[in-house]
Structure 1
Amino acid sequence: MRPLEPDDPRTIGDYRLLRRLGAGGMGRVYLGRTTGGRTVAVKVVHPHFAEQPDFRHRFHREIAAARRVQGTWTAPVLDADPDATIPWIATGYVAGPSLAQAIDHHGPLPLRTVRALGAGLAEALRAVHSADLLHRDVKPPNVLLAPDGPKLIDFGIARAREGTTTVTATGAAVGSPGFMSPEQVLAQPLTPATDLFSLGAVLAYAATGNAPFTG
């Protein structure tokens, strides 16, 4: 978590932005707060995505699908504005380090903890797949370790299963090297098995402190 930078917005929708939580391929993520005091995570997409002709249509569809994801082990979608000049989405804020941060600071997890992590994330993926979504980017930074268990976050590149492909409008494969399934790397059609492959890679990382693939 870092202070806001000069070019960061101070408000998005009805949310006052407090800190920068991180950044990724789709946009920047901020810690925000409602006027009533609720803390949320607000993801603001990069401006160049908003300029792509088909982006808003996909974003509308993906938000509608993500709202259907209901589960103990996921961060719920609370609000969104895909029609804003710079589209954004707000999700529940999870107070806890990412799996990547935990491994960096404390090393591999005990086997019993890895098993509990796997059980929680498997339930999270079942909720995602039940909503006809694929996450497509299951990786240690997208797993947060909350006091009540792991939370799978960042559906920013999740796509509805119907018509799902592995490439962006620029032809680049979507995912994170080291945790992508072979079909993602080869730009082949994806199924829920893609997310399960990535889950296995994440659990291997949690148990050993090293990603099972180097790139």
Structure 2
Amino acid sequence: MSEATETRTTYKRVMLKISGEALMGDQGYGLHPPTVARIAQEVKSVHDMGVEICMVIGGGNIFRGLQGSAQGMERTTADYMGMLATVMNALAMQAALEDLGVFTRVISAIPMDQVCEPYIRRRAVRHLEKKRVCIFAAGTGNPYFTTDTAATLRANEMACEAIFKGTKVDGVYDKDPKKHADARRFDTISFDDVLVKHLQVMDASAIALARDNHLPIIVFSLDEPGGFSGILRGEGTYTRVSD
């Protein structure tokens, strides 16, 4: 990696949080391999800049625990099923990244040694230092916690400098821009305002955890080609959520 590349990079280590739905493309369910490959290419472009990357991927494209609970399933069981869905998504992303030549480790909060590594903080940090992408799966390993909270927890444990939340829109708006033409995008907004205005950037537990540890959240469009790497070079459109 050249010195010039280093000077253009805003962050050294980041957490990328994406939803499971981001992997299903235009389908209504499951995994869409071309979409997974496209996102993997976005991750590779940032990895090539020398940035150390953590990832957390939701499981809503396969199973969402809260919805299962709402349909009468016992909540703890439903949440564990959702955690297993995140492992499937993590393995799919690992395969896509390694197909591009990016060394990747899937690290699960629920031990399943034949499939992926168990979560050991020091080992995960070492993987990052060796420039391997670490995909943290199975949430926190506990029911009643979302993958948003898991991403914020792991980002703090891994000493990430920011959480990048990839969404369908290019930042945080005061209302849904897909439904309201007069929706206003924020360039910056405080954690407290996100909570007070119920802006749904992440769930309240994740926002509070990020706020208490002064960990900024960058909300950007995952559908914008080159958007992830552009922000790391100080370009692009996004919202920064911070103190």
Structure with bigger RCO (C-alpha 8 Å, 6+ apart): 2
TM > 0.5: no
TM-score (norm. length: structure 2): 0.25
**Structure with the higher fraction of residues in helix conformation:** 2
